[in-house]
Structure 1
Amino acid sequence: MRILTSLLATALLALPLPTLAEGDAEKGEKVFRKCRACHDVGPDAKDKSGPALNGIVGSAAGASPEFGYSTAMKEAAEAGLVWDEASLTAFLTKPRDFLKGTQMSFPGLRKEADVANVIAYLAQQEAAPGN
């Protein structure tokens, strides 16, 4: 039994883990310039026409208490949407397909690498105190 457990543990460790390391945060910062008209990140980030995105990776949708989200986003939040890598990838690729009724006017990022890079960049943005 110990041998089987040891073999299983070794096999699991050999599997590639999905990580945000696939994206390049430095490149993501450059791609994020497309988002800055509506979204902010960083120590002094504030909501604009879109919410500030500090701490977004791994957080619940609709988590910015001061932001006026669309009905579609509120419903997704109530249904338990969490902004993990998979949901962010789908949303950033085609926001209106992922969340029917979203008010986000951006059509999406066309390149998979750009999406991965933006997610890696956003993952570095710490949540504001109290969030």
Structure 2
Amino acid sequence: MNPRLAPAVAWLAGGLLVAGASAAPEPAVLQRGEQVYARCAACHAIEGHRTGPQHCGLWGRRAGTAQGYTNYSKALQRSGIVWDEHSLDLFLKDPMKAVPGTAMGYAGVKDDAERADLIAWLKEASQPGKTCQTKR
């Protein structure tokens, strides 16, 4: 391959991977993600608030704004984060490093594959009106 073309090919391949990432994940990925989510269930649920806020409607929501949930830290409310694959990946890896002062006292999901499976599952399971209903 022409060395001058390598960056363009890498960019194109990355774009194709990103485009493919929007397709429905494999059932095994979703199953593993749901198993990882079981660790979150002590504080979170998809359709209702617990110690932490519900996850229904998570995608595209600004951090610290789940309707009806009032126990957010000021740090999370002021973070400016909008939840998507990238922001969740950073936050779930180490919440206290990603948002110093967060009330989420959890060490994080350190394993990259587990975190990716969890994020894929959350994306599918948290779609309001399609897979869950938000509580007000």
Q: TM-score range by the shorter chain?
A: 0.7 to 0.9
- Tell me whether 1:24 sits opposite 2:13 in the alignment: no
Q: Where do residues 26-65 of structure 1 align in structure 2 (5 Å cutoff)?
A: 26-41=31-46, 45-65=47-67
2:57 and 2:134 in contact (8 A); partners too: no
CA spacing shift, 1:13–1:96, aligned 2, 3 Å: closer
% of aligned pairs identical? 32
Consecutive unaligned residues in structure 1, runs of 5 or more: 1-7
* CA shift digits 1:92-127 (9 cap, x unpaired): 000000001000011001110111111111111222
Letter in 1 for 2:37: F
Q: Where do residues 1-131 of structure 1 align in structure 2 (5 Å cutoff)?
A: 12=12, 15-18=15-18, 19=21, 21=25, 24-41=29-46, 45-68=47-70, 69-76=72-79, 79=80, 81-125=81-125, 126-127=127-128, 128-129=133-134
* CA shift digits 1:39-89 (9 cap, x unpaired): 001xxx21011001112123221231211211011111xx3x211111100
In 2: Cα distance, 1:120 partner to 1:14 partner: 18
In 1: Cα distance, 2:134 partner to 2:40 partner: 23
Letter in 1 for 2:112: E
Q: Tell me the TM-score normalised to structure 2 length.
A: 0.74
Residue-pair matches, total: 116
Root mean square deviation, CA, Å: 2.6
Q: Tell me the TM-score normalised to structure 1 length.
A: 0.77
In 2: Cα distance, 1:67 partner to 1:84 partner: 20
1:129, distance to aligned residue in structure 2 (A): 5.0
1:130, distance to aligned residue in structure 2 (A): 8.1
1:29 and 1:118 in contact (8 A); partners too: yes
CA spacing shift, 1:65–1:15, aligned 2, 3 Å: closer
- Give the structure, 1 or 2, with the largest relative contact order (CA under 8 Å, sep 6 or more): 1
